[in-house]
Amino acid sequence: MLEDVKLHIGKKPAVFHGKDFDCFRSRVELRENVRKLSEAQGFEPFWVYDYLHDSLVKPQWLRSYPVDFCSDWDCCLFVPLENEYVWDDVIKFLLKHFEKFGTNRKFSIEQLANMIKSTYTERTKKDCQNDALSIIQEFSQQRDSIMFRNMLECYKVTLQSHPKPFKDELKKMGYRPPLSTMEFSDEMLDLLEETYLLIKQVKEAGLQETKGNKEKTAETPL
């Protein structure tokens, strides 16, 4: 099931119902798996269920699936990540870059400092050594070295918490995001527009109903 989702990310919706839920311990676990698959390809899931699960109104495209809306179901569309960086591609680039400075898939403090210095040439050697030591203390299990896999973790944390500095650093290192690899179909765009419009209409109808109920309550004599 997840292989099918992975194959069609950015091209068609992911709809889950019935026995699909038997493969996961919870809705949270299902969504976490979909999120990881999506982000690896430069997308994030937009969970339609969160907006329309308790509404009688459903998008026409969703009604084309054999979903029992009175039972367990979930569905999402896919939108491109704002950072436009496909993590799988970033990993490939970083590993090639690491190999220019490290040995045996790890860095010593000196090697990591040299890599930092190659990117930030304006920094002093001592500053780069201090930066290297800080990274090793935070992300490595060793006192004086760090594995490539732990450096990847460091970069991923930076991408999530400080995307702008992350992009700037990758550009200095020579990375350019392969935007052509992000397959976002016209069909997906149409489904998103249709769904956004429907969600807006449902919200407006709900606000009107709430407003009407308040007015009736105010008019009712004590």
For residues 152 and 171, membership in a common domain is answered with yes
Residue 81 has pLDDT above 80, yes or no: no
Residue 165's pLDDT is: 84
At 204-216, the pLDDT tens digits run 887 555 555 555 5
Q: Specify the number of domains making up the chain.
A: 2
Q: Which of 41-55, 79-93, 96-110, 118-132 has the lowest mean pLDDT?
A: 79-93
Paired strand residues for 17: 73
The whole-chain average pLDDT of the chain stands at 86
Paired tokens of 15: 């709809």
| Residue 46 or 160, more confident | 46
Residue 210's pLDDT is: 53
CATH at residue 101: 1.10.238
CB 143 within 8 A of CB 136: yes
Residue 181's pLDDT is: 46
Angstrom CA distances, 66 to 6, 97, 188, stand at: 21, 48, 20
At 12-70, the pLDDT tens digits run 999 999 899 888 989 999 999 999 999 888 788 999 999 999 888 899 999 999 999 99
* Residue % of the chain over a pLDDT of 70: 87
Residue 101's pLDDT is: 96
Residue 89's pLDDT is: 83
Q: How far apart are CA 67 and CA 55, in angstroms?
A: 14
For residues 22 and 51, membership in a common domain is answered with yes
Angstrom CA distances, 32 to 39, 41, 61, 88, 180, stand at: 11, 15, 24, 17, 26
For residues 57 and 16, membership in a common domain is answered with yes
For residues 65 and 114, membership in a common domain is answered with no
For residues 91 and 80, membership in a common domain is answered with no
pLDDT band at 144 (very low <50, low <70, confident <90, very high): very high
Query: How much is the average pLDDT of 157-177?
Result: 82
Residue 182 has pLDDT above 80, yes or no: no
Residue 192 has pLDDT above 50, yes or no: yes
Domain that holds residue 57: 2-84+182-219
